[in-house]
A and B are shown apart, each in its own frame.
Chain A
Amino acid sequence: MRFYAICVYLFLYIPIGVIALFSFNAGRHASQLQGFSTKWYGKALSNPFVMDALETSLIVAFCSALFASVFGTMAAVALQGIRGPVRVAFDMLIYVAVMIPGIVIGIATLIGLVTVFNQLNPVIAAIWPAGFNPPKLRMGIGSLIAAHTMFLMALVAIIVRARLAGMDRTLNEASSDLYATPLGTFRQVTLPMIFPAILAGFLLSFTFSFDDFIIAFFVAGSETTLPIYVFSSIRRGVTPEINAIGAMVMGVSLLLLISAQLLLKRERRKSR
């Protein structure tokens, strides 16, 4: 049994280890080890295409995670005090948003937004003051952030609601009995208690958005995110530079994940 477990762990970690190992390979060929070197990291970090893609990915991940945490938390807090059809509708939307395949979200966002933009662009051009170039709505970083925010918001709402459900309601009542305003109660009682969940939601959202390929593939327009760059490079062939990028992406994800896990665990311990 123990031997079996060790085998499964090897299966899970050898591929990751191989990527990390080969990213330090000095040789030019991706699959022959020829001494230790960090030159591929240098190469990757000085490649303007990689840096552009990285910048886009970081902006998208940060904005999506921020919007998702704020709106998701707001929805979770509001849904606590709501019954009836509105709640049922939101429960369903949250469920649909996380369950529907990413590829369908990508497609729907692409053709939905392009259709809406095609209707809006002539209208904007018509009402724009003459002599100025009217702005043109198109797919790009904005549509990508909007698409990521949509399903990450649902994810944050689920995480925060789980935390709210485990919260002692009498604390809120005590607070309002002591004449705290609802906002005061929220700021001084509710928020500190759900904050670790919100932060964990933010970190998970950031990783999700940063790693997402399929939605970005449809929605990013002419923008390139890091996963899109890596995907198109892989199609052209395996290079040591990709190993270095892969190792770095893994490293960043691991760091964020460990932080999220620690936060959720500390919170769980507190609630006991």
Chain B
Amino acid sequence: MTQRARNWLLLAPAGIWFLVMLIIPLTVVFIFSFGERAPSGGVVLALTVEQYANLPARWAAFKNTMTLAPIGTLSALLIAYPLAYFLAVKADPRWKTILLVLVIVPFWTSILIRSYAWIFLLGGRGIPALLEWVGIEGLRLINTPFAVLVGIIYGYLPLMVFPIFVSLDKLDKRLLEASSDLGAKPWKTFLQVTLPLSIPGIATGCMLVFILLMGEYLIPALLGGGKVFFVGNALVDLFLQSRNWAYGSAVAVTLVVVMLIIVTIYMRLISRLGANREDVSIM
């Protein structure tokens, strides 16, 4: 058997799998998004933009996603950066690896259970009960945008810390010494040396978190109590409850397109800042 034939044979299962489980399904979604709802609940194929014209009916879901996803990403960044800095620059090298692993481990465990923990903590007998004890009463935390934000930060913080850590860890520490030897104050060294050199990590972290947040369903479903819903929640409703496949497909296509546009613009901006696109791995 020639090398060529062997390679084709090795690629065949993955290729067929991608074709049947990724390319064909995504194409079906795309085609259905131009269809009409059948009276029986299925889709009548057509070539209409009616579903897309109807998108404003789900405007609230898009608005919630497009406000809470950036706010969540930014909050995670602000909390993650000092920790990544501590791990990469200040922490005792002997403890570095174990401390980093401790940050990443929660990310690889069930996000369902981790969000559930916050229902518990933010619910009536959790933090509000503690606050009542010190005199702050009647505070409702669960089923608010705040609860969703906490869930988002909690869920995605590890994913933000890791790439920033990698870029800070690679940074040549002699640059920092050189900067301070030349009389720069610590904050100036940070702003002019450390921060610019860690932009690739910041860019990767923000992009990963933002992309995952755009498709989020569980956190708003569990902590937002049906009041704070994302596009993901609208999609579950459209496909599993009201079974409006044509409209649901249009919403899904729009979500992916919006995501692609944002990521493309973002990549352009970042590459103009002179960063490169490495370290996308999360392990």
Contacts and interface: CB of A to CB of B under 8 A. Distances in A.
Contact of B109 (A150, A211, A264): A211
B218 A22 contact: no
A242 interface: yes
Interface stretch (A40-48, A103-111, A120-128, A129-137): A103-111
Interface in B27-78: 27-29, 32
B120 A1 contact: no
A253 B10 contact: no
A111 B112 contact: no
Interface string B214-245: 11011000100000000010011001100001
B215 A103 contact: yes
A178 interface: no
Contacts of A86: 11
Main DSSP-derived SS at the B contact region: helix
Interface stretch (B18-26, B173-181, B187-195): B18-26
Interface string B184-216: 000000000000000000000000000110110
Contact of B255 (A32, A104, A150): A104
A112 B29 contact: yes
Contacts of A159: 283
Interface range on chain A (Cβ under 8 Å from partner)? 35 or more
B94 to A, nearest CB: 15
Main DSSP-derived SS at the A contact region: helix
Contact of A101 (B109, B125, B212): B212
Contact of B119 (A153, A217, A234): A234
Contacts of A111: 25, 28-29, 32, 239, 245, 249
A103 B217 contact: yes
A104 B215 contact: yes
Interface range on chain B (Cβ under 8 Å from partner)? 35 or more
A32 to B, nearest CB: 7
A115 interface: yes
Contact of B22 (A93, A218, A231, A265): A93
A1 B20 CA distance: 51
Contacts of B15: 75, 90
B249 A81 contact: no
Contacts of A100: 256
A133 B125 CA distance: 55
B102 A74 contact: no
Contacts of A24: none
A189 interface: no
B216 to A, nearest CB: 8
Contacts of B24: 112, 116
Contact of A74 (B14, B21, B235): B14
A59 to B, nearest CB: 18
Interface string B65-106: 000000000000001001101110011000001010111011
23 contacts: A2-B90, A5-B83, A5-B99, A15-B118, A18-B121, A19-B116, A30-B120, A78-B8, A93-B18, A101-B259, A107-B29, A107-B248, A107-B252, A111-B32, A112-B24, A112-B28, A149-B21, A150-B21, A214-B232, A217-B240, A230-B112, A231-B218, A246-B113
Interface of A: 1-2, 4-5, 8-9, 11-16, 18-19, 22, 30-32, 70-72, 74-75, 77-79, 81-82, 86, 90, 93, 96-97, 99-105, 107-113, 115-116, 146-147, 149-150, 153, 157-159, 162, 182, 200, 204, 207, 211, 213-214, 217-218, 227, 230-231, 234, 238, 242, 246, 249-250, 253-254, 257, 261, 264-265
Given A12-B102, A75-B15, 14 more contacts: A4-B82, A4-B83, A5-B91, A8-B79, A22-B120, A74-B10, A77-B10, A78-B8, A97-B18, A101-B232, A101-B256, A146-B20, A213-B111, A238-B119
